[in-house]
Structure 1
Amino acid sequence: MVEEELKGKEAGSSRFDRSSSFEFVESGGSKLHNSKVDWGTILHLAFQSIGVVYGDVGTSPLYVFSSTFTSGINHKDDILGVLSIILYTLTLIPLVKYVFIVLQANDNGDGGTFALYSLICRYAKVSLIPNQQVEDQNVSNYQLQLPSKRLQLASWLKSRLEASGFAKYLLLFATMLGTSMVIGDGVLTPCISVLSAVGGIQSATTEMTQDRIVWISAAILVLLFLLQSFGTDKVGYIFAPVICVWFAMIAGIGVFNFIKYDPTVIKAVNPYYIVDYFKRNKKEAWISLGGAVLSITGTEALFADVGHFTVKSIQISMCSITYPSLILAYFGQSSYLRMHKEDVANTFYKSIPRVTLGFKSTVKIGNAYGIAVVFVMVLTSMLLVLIMVMIWKTHILLVIIYVLVIGTVELIYLSSVLYKFDDGGYLSLLVALILVTVMYVWNYVYCKKYTYELAHKISPDKLRQISADPSLCRLPGLAIFYSELVHGIPPIFQHYVENVPALHSILVFVSIKALPISKVPLEERFLFKRFQPKEMNVFRCIVRYGYKDVSFKEYSFETMLVDKLKQYLAEELSIKSSSNESSGDVVSGATDQNAGNEIQNVVFNDEEERKKVLEKVERGSREGVVHFLGESEVVAGEGANLGKKIVINYAYNVLRRNLRQSNKVFDVPHKRLVKVGMTYDL
């Protein structure tokens, strides 16, 4: 079996993929690839995206006018002012900002707050845990396509961020808050959409009470969440035709109402009506922005869900279907309201031609929803400006225009929605606060734990000393020690040897490392390095994964690791053989014959060594693979204050016990699992 593998390696020795070797990546080798998607696939994904991305923003016409004019319409031209606000809000935020700017800041096709943060972390050393090792730069999707032109502002901003501990924590906090707000957004979105839709039944029958609406809405929400278990692909196919019909209907009804009632609402394209609206209503106009902002609910999904589709598919579906349908719907509703101001509380259903438990109405949900929506948008803009200046090196005038136009609009909306904090708006912030607290506790203790292991790691000299100890028994088989420490051997190894003076014939120290990218290609996950002297048969392996690589279930982790180890050894010896063969070019004269014979002997010896090493690994894996997991308990060190003790001794340990254990993540066979306990005083 080993000989057949060697023959295959020999036949393609010139084409070895050496990306699994530390020596190769440290010398600067890389393997970049670009994948192109044909237009047929793009259009197919654009259709699917309609069923996944636009459900929130597509249902916003159900409640925007009722949420904006909560006290009724005082002046006929107020409708034009609000319509103009909606028109320019839809144009500036979803279309200009997200579709044409933010989508370009995707992380290898993935979007969301973490995508923006990962881009910044890859360009500047702002991560609280070191993440910019040489070997990581050679992951095919790690590199950023940076403009060649260097700007002084970009370099200055990068150096300032890297030098400021406060800036690093602020970036992390902004990322946590943005992610938490998106989760809160996801909690509230179905509630307000379904409750508004079911509430329309009251227009048809007086027998439908508010309590019945609430319970029917709750049942529909349960059904919708159950459908999500089928995956994005099937959900897209199920809902895309439905939402396409929905957009066609609201657009058609909008055109009908626009022609029938008051076509003069076209005047709302003039932004003067916004100024006039604020002059006439002053504070009430500012407060009403909390309702108008609901016209862009779910906009963050354009960016967050791009990983399921492509940038072009989102752009096509938004520009060709969603945006024009919404504009027509709002113009139609405005035309109707110009003639029927009294129907503002139920605009959507009244304008149709004749055909949640905790809130019980869309008003308070809308207030909470508005805060979540606008907070995410503002945080996205903050991170995006850093990317524009530092990574894209955008001209400073364009950055200033973005901040003055988009930033000002979003901050005005934020001030308006925060005004309604005590009227239901607190919910989204409460959800975000809980989630941010959980994330902070985990990150704080994780960093402390990592720092402890780094300070107490075992040096290569100490490892050689332990391995050479004659009192240490070497057992047949292959042992895998898991750790999150990338540099050095974790202290838990020495703790194990001191209590169990026996080691297997082959040792592999596996370090689990999260990279600031969404996914790491499977063929680039493993990196190996052999400790010297070679006779110890001790290896270090770094397993790299991205923040969207959920688990290792797609392959047998143990089998992959052993195969990659054998590949690394074969490549290592092949490189050595190639070096010896190339040295024959410099020999000349009478010594050619002897030199040639010497080279042949060296190559033959290398082949023999290669076979022996590979056979040893093969035999070790056959004799049995044992997995060693550190069961480290963390406690606050002596003299720690009360807050630190609560966070480390209680909060963190509660979270750790409720997370999936490492043996489940790596699918480690229970019969071959050994847990090594140790206490870390942090």
Structure 2
Amino acid sequence: MSSHSHQNLHSKLTTGGLLISLGIIYGDIGTSPLYVMKAILGDYAISRDIVLGGISCIFWTLTLQTTLKYVIITLNADNHGEGGIFALFALVKKTKIKWLIIPAIIGGSALLADGIITPPISVSSAIEGLRLFNPKINTVPIVIGILIGLFTIQQFGSKIVGKFFSPIMLLWFTMLGVLGTLQIMTDASVFSAINPYYGYKLLQVHPEGYFVLGAVFLCTTGAEALYSDMGHCGRKNIRISWIFVKLMLLLNYFGQGAYLINHEGKTLSEIGGNVQNPFYLIMADWFMPVGIVIATMAAVIASQALISGSFTLINEAMRLNFWPKVKIKYPTELKGQLYIPSINWLLLLGCIGVVLYFRESGNMEHAYGLAIVLCMIMTTILLNFYLIMKRVKLYLIVPLIMVYLLIEFSFLYANITKFMHGGFVTLIIASILIGIMATWYLAKQISKNYTKNVKIDDYKKVLAELSVDLSIPKYATHLVYMTNSNKVDEIEEKVMYSILQKRPKRADLYWFIHVNVLNEPYRKEYRVTEIIQDDIYRVDFYLGFREPTKINLMFKQVIKEMVERGEVDITSRYESLNKNHIIGDFKFVLSERFISNDSLITFFEKVVMNTYFILKKLSLSEQKGFGLDNSSVKVEQFPMVLHPLENIEMKRIK
């Protein structure tokens, strides 16, 4: 995608774009009225101060955190049209500050951990409305059934489902606004909650004190997902549609507040009996079944957006060397639409585990929010360096970043109380993900540090002679090696060892292929370097971090274009086949590393490398990762020597 088309995407304002953003972007943040007020009130008696304080905190959180930080400021940090924490990291990587990888890995892992709790809490909150009709209904099997259905349809792509998303979400937000407005008409004094003083007062009068902010925070949990999905809809469409979404959300929150003030002194169980949720209590009895159906559909859409976001996140992590290679499928022709089977089924298992462990959405609230606030803090840190990179004045950056770090650390502290009540679940999941990403990245760095490169010029003569040495049996017409060397005039020593010593490999043409992963999402370019005419060529692919690595197909395309230009002759050099214009065979050689017994490594390096090799066994093989045909691939084992032992002194005796 060209930079011109990115500008078009972000400057274009269309009805279609606005509708799509409703369907894709706001699922998570849009379903928060289902559980936020319920979480703020808990089992305590309703008081005017608590209700107005809760609404005030929600109003200012949505204004400062979601609107100002994400919709106005962070959406400017697009990487060639794409958003999200890894896209932001790819941007600030240019600053060459190495430790920025830490907030990127922590933030990405926290966002993925959040993807395991959002579907259960959204779907459970919606389904629990059924208790109005049958108080003893067990909602757990229904929730699990819906989640299994949702994850099963992922393999077909969300294109078909996507057509229904936007109208349903438009209906959902309209319903939120109408329900809220009807209640506000009974008590408009609820608008006094706009005064931030009530928010301050909440911290003093609420039985949980300062820690009630953990419940308030739930109203903005979808802001990070909003930034991640920017590439689907465009900045302008998101900003304009947010005006409508925020208005509808606030109307609903204020409506719930007006209803609750009219029932001051009672608890939620005293008003609603089986349904202790102000979201459902503000509905008329006749409308309740319709409301539950619409809420369930909105919850499924919120879950869908997070699942799609998780696939995109893992794909980016793989391309940035944070995650082992896993199988990726492209169910539709839609740009950026992908399906990762292993992640899909792992997410489903995680979601089912969460439902079985917590059972009620009220219990899930304790685990929700702790991981995502970590992600928001990491985004703020990266955003700071993005603003510095963009040469924004320091007197603007410092107060802005300090204010957001203060807000987010306050939310983090308030959420800490959730740790023992279930927050540990998401933090354990996030820690496992951080461990995998850090191990994979460190192992790649260790491996890179101990890979020796040699100058191709030193081997040009011997390769040219080997190519015509008839005393050595021909190994292949075209011999292709994947190389990690960034420099065109260098190649790994192990490649030369493989060609000349492991078993001399005579070929008519030698090809070296290198893949450069760029800091931008969508780009597909290649460069061919002729090292020796009709003998040695190097092909460099330049791919965006969201592009699939289909080396087999891309290499064929390169060869086809080179043949059309008359740059290379790929017909077989065997006389009988050449006469009949038969294309020569292509053989790929891939190297697999193992730690040599001659390595003298530290305990830390040993742990990292051993974990790396375990993960490697579980991940996709190199040939599948590069999309190569197994029949034309030879995998060779190479020892990797870390910190070689010193020379062993020995005395020769007669």
2:103 counterpart of 1:92? no
How many percent of aligned residue pairs carry the same amino acid? 27
Q: Where does 1:408-447 land on structure 2 (aligned, <5 Å)?
A: 408-447=406-445
Given candidates 623, 626, 633, the residue that maps to 1:673 is 633
Return the offset for 1:499: 2.6
Q: Where does 1:32-47 land on structure 2 (aligned, <5 Å)?
A: 33-34=4-5, 36-37=8-9, 42-47=14-19
The residue that corresponds to 2:285 in the other structure is 354
Q: Where does 1:148-187 land on structure 2 (aligned, <5 Å)?
A: 161=97, 168=98, 170-187=99-116
2:74 counterpart of 1:106? no
Return the offset for 1:415: 0.9
Amino acid corresponding to residue 677 of structure 1 in structure 2 = Q
SS of 1:630's equivalent? strand
C-alpha contact 2:3 2:80 (8 A) present in aligned 1: no
The residue that corresponds to 1:196 in the other structure is 125
Q: Distance in 1 between matches of 2:267 and 2:198?
A: 22
Q: Where does 1:620-631 land on structure 2 (aligned, <5 Å)?
A: 622-631=583-592
The residue that corresponds to 1:64 in the other structure is 36
Q: 1:297 to 1:479 in 2, by over 3 A?
A: same
Q: Where does 1:387-426 land on structure 2 (aligned, <5 Å)?
A: 387-389=386-388, 391-426=389-424
Q: 1:449 to 1:40 in 2, by over 3 A?
A: closer
Return the offset for 1:185: 1.0
Q: Distance in 2 between matches of 1:557 and 1:666?
A: 10
Amino acid corresponding to residue 449 of structure 2 in structure 1 = T
Cα deviation per residue 1:462-502 (whole Å; 9 max; x = unaligned)?
34344445757484722211122222212222222213223
The residue that corresponds to 1:138 in the other structure is none
The residue that corresponds to 1:319 in the other structure is 243
The residue that corresponds to 2:328 in the other structure is none
Return the offset for 1:545: 2.0
Q: Distance in 2 between matches of 1:115 and 1:313?
A: 20
Cα deviation per residue 1:583-618 (whole Å; 9 max; x = unaligned)?
xxxxxxxxxxxxxxxxxxxxxxxxxxxx5x53x345
Q: Distance in 1 between matches of 2:562 and 2:613?
A: 35
Return the offset for 1:254: 0.1
Q: Distance in 2 between matches of 1:37 and 1:446?
A: 36
The residue that corresponds to 1:330 in the other structure is 253
* Residues 419-428 or 235-244, more deviating: 235-244
Q: Distance in 1 between matches of 2:283 and 2:585?
A: 71
Q: Distance in 1 between matches of 2:430 and 2:624?
A: 29
Return the offset for 1:230: 3.4
Q: Distance in 2 between matches of 1:192 and 1:308?
A: 25
Mark the runs of 5 or more structure 2 residues left unpaired by the alignment.
Answer: 269-275, 287-354, 574-581, 643-654
Output the TM-score relative to the length of structure 2.
0.79
SS of 1:622's equivalent? coil
Return the offset for 1:372: 1.6
Given candidates 42, 51, 54, the residue that maps to 2:23 is 51
Q: Distance in 2 between matches of 1:417 and 1:483?
A: 47
Given candidates 130, 150, 156, the residue that maps to 1:230 is 156
Q: Distance in 1 between matches of 2:615 and 2:486?
A: 24
Q: Distance in 1 between matches of 2:22 and 2:203?
A: 35
Given candidates 64, 69, 76, the residue that maps to 2:48 is 76
Q: Distance in 2 between matches of 1:536 and 1:89?
A: 65
SS of 2:601's equivalent? coil
Return the offset for 1:631: 2.5
Return the offset for 1:181: 0.7
The residue that corresponds to 2:374 in the other structure is 375
Given candidates 512, 516, 520, the residue that maps to 2:519 is 516
Return the offset for 1:238: 2.1
Amino acid corresponding to residue 659 of structure 1 in structure 2 = S
C-alpha contact 2:83 2:231 (8 A) present in aligned 1: yes
Return the offset for 1:536: 6.5
C-alpha contact 2:45 2:267 (8 A) present in aligned 1: no
SS of 1:550's equivalent? coil
Amino acid corresponding to residue 297 of structure 1 in structure 2 = T
Given candidates 183, 186, 198, the residue that maps to 1:273 is 198
Return the offset for 1:232: 4.0
Q: Distance in 2 between matches of 1:637 and 1:95?
A: 58
Q: 1:313 to 1:227 in 2, by over 3 A?
A: farther
Q: Distance in 1 between matches of 2:11 and 2:449?
A: 49
Return the offset for 1:246: 1.2
Cα deviation per residue 1:4-50 (whole Å; 9 max; x = unaligned)?
xxxxxxxxxxxxxxxxxxxxxxxxxxx97555249887331321222
SS of 1:108's equivalent? coil
Q: 1:424 to 1:435 in 2, by over 3 A?
A: same
Amino acid corresponding to residue 391 of structure 2 in structure 1 = K
Cα deviation per residue 1:105-157 (whole Å; 9 max; x = unaligned)?
01111111111110011x322xxxxxxxxxxxxxxxxxxxxxxxxxxxxxxxx
Amino acid corresponding to residue 529 of structure 1 in structure 2 = T
Cα deviation per residue 1:446-470 (whole Å; 9 max; x = unaligned)?
11112222x2445421343444457
Return the offset for 1:93: 1.4
The residue that corresponds to 2:233 in the other structure is 309
Q: Distance in 2 between matches of 1:462 and 1:397?
A: 57
Cα deviation per residue 1:632-664 (whole Å; 9 max; x = unaligned)?
324576332344323313x11121122222322
SS of 1:504's equivalent? strand
Return the offset for 1:299: 1.5
Q: 1:386 to 1:248 in 2, by over 3 A?
A: same
Given candidates 596, 604, 607, the residue that maps to 1:646 is 607
C-alpha contact 2:11 2:234 (8 A) present in aligned 1: no
SS of 2:76's equivalent? helix
2:88 counterpart of 1:124? no
The residue that corresponds to 1:580 in the other structure is none
Amino acid corresponding to residue 68 of structure 1 in structure 2 = I
Given candidates 154, 165, 182, the residue that maps to 1:239 is 165
C-alpha contact 1:118 1:517 (8 A) present in aligned 2: yes
C-alpha contact 2:129 2:280 (8 A) present in aligned 1: yes
Output the TM-score relative to the length of structure 1.
0.76
Aligned length: 550
C-alpha contact 1:635 1:645 (8 A) present in aligned 2: no
Cα deviation per residue 1:308-365 (whole Å; 9 max; x = unaligned)?
2211222222222x11110000000000010124354421111212231111122332
Q: 1:493 to 1:38 in 2, by over 3 A?
A: closer
SS of 2:368's equivalent? helix
Q: Distance in 2 between matches of 1:173 and 1:401?
A: 23
Return the offset for 1:236: 2.5
Q: Could you say which structure has the higher helix fraction?
A: 1
Return the offset for 1:666: 3.2
Given candidates 475, 492, 495, the residue that maps to 1:493 is 495
Q: Distance in 1 between matches of 2:37 and 2:425?
A: 22
- Which runs of structure 1 show a deviation greater than 6 angstroms over 4 or more consecutive aligned residues? 38-41
C-alpha contact 1:333 1:347 (8 A) present in aligned 2: yes
Given candidates 289, 292, 308, the residue that maps to 2:213 is 289
C-alpha contact 2:12 2:234 (8 A) present in aligned 1: no
SS of 1:544's equivalent? strand
Q: 1:633 to 1:332 in 2, by over 3 A?
A: same
Mark the runs of 5 or more structure 1 residues left unpaired by the alignment.
Answer: 1-30, 126-160, 162-167, 571-610
Q: 1:637 to 1:274 in 2, by over 3 A?
A: farther
Q: 1:90 to 1:347 in 2, by over 3 A?
A: same
Cα deviation per residue 1:355-387 (whole Å; 9 max; x = unaligned)?
311111223322221112211111111110110
